[in-house]
């Protein structure tokens, strides 16, 4: 797992040079970071989440409440080890605007609560900012997809 994050950091470090000639050169990096976020959440890797998420992160929760980075990471930390949670992206699209990237898509969430499996699909919108040569998520929101 640590190898994946090291690889992403190297790729992110090389991104500014490539981005000058191709504005979409950072798209694969943003997609990899989105997938890394899902893995870090699943495995409760708070160190990886700390690297991926900006200190001023704002998360708009399903119920409309706002979470800071500290509150979001604390919720991951405080989740019970017996809680099985899986988040996996089904689709990701990225639009680049200079040093800002907007990622949208759908993710599937699987959770076991009181022995019962609950699966939901949600549409997400994440805003990434390139700061000091690295990409960090500065805003995130998700809305359940109702059928």
CA distance 110 to 112: 7
Amino acid 12: pLDDT: 52
Q: What is the mean pLDDT of residues 31-46?
A: 90
Note the pLDDT of residue 42: 83
Name the pLDDT band for 110 (thresholds 50, 70, 90). confident
CA distance 140 to 146: 19
Average pLDDT on 95-123 reads 89
Q: What is the band of 118 on the pLDDT scale with cuts at 50, 70, 90?
A: confident
Residue 105: CA count within 13 A, CB half-sphere: 20
At 114 the pLDDT is: 79
Predicted local distance difference test score (pLDDT) of residue 4: 52
Average pLDDT over residues 97-121: 88
Label residue 146 by pLDDT band (50, 70, 90).
confident
Map residue 25 onto helix, strand or coil. Answer: coil
Q: Across the chain, what does the average pLDDT equal?
A: 83
Domains of the chain plus CATH, in order, are: 2-144 (3.10.450.50)
Strand 53-60 vs strand 66-68: parallel, antiparallel, or unpaired?
antiparallel
Eight-state DSSP code of residue 134: E
> Tens of pLDDT along 41-96?
888 898 999 999 999 999 998 889 999 999 999 888 776 554 556 777 889 999 99
């Amino acid at each position: 797992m640590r190898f994946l994050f090291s690889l992403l950091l190297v790729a992110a470090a090389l991104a500014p040079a490539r981005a000058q000639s191709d504005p979409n050169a950072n798209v694969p990096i943003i997609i990899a970071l989105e997938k890394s976020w899902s893995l870090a959440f699943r495995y409760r890797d708070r160190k990886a989440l700390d690297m991926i998420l900006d200190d001023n992160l704002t998360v708009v929760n399903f119920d409309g409440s706002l979470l800071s980075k500290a509150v979001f990471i604390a919720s991951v930390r405080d989740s019970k080890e017996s809680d099985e949670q899986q988040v996996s992206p089904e689709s990701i699209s990225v639009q680049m605007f200079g040093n800002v990237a907007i990622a949208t898509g759908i993710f599937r969430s699987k959770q076991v609560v009181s022995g019962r499996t609950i699966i939901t699909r949600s549409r997400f919108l994440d805003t990434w900012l390139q700061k000091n040569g690295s990409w960090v998520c500065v805003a995130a929101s998700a809305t359940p997809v109702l059928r």
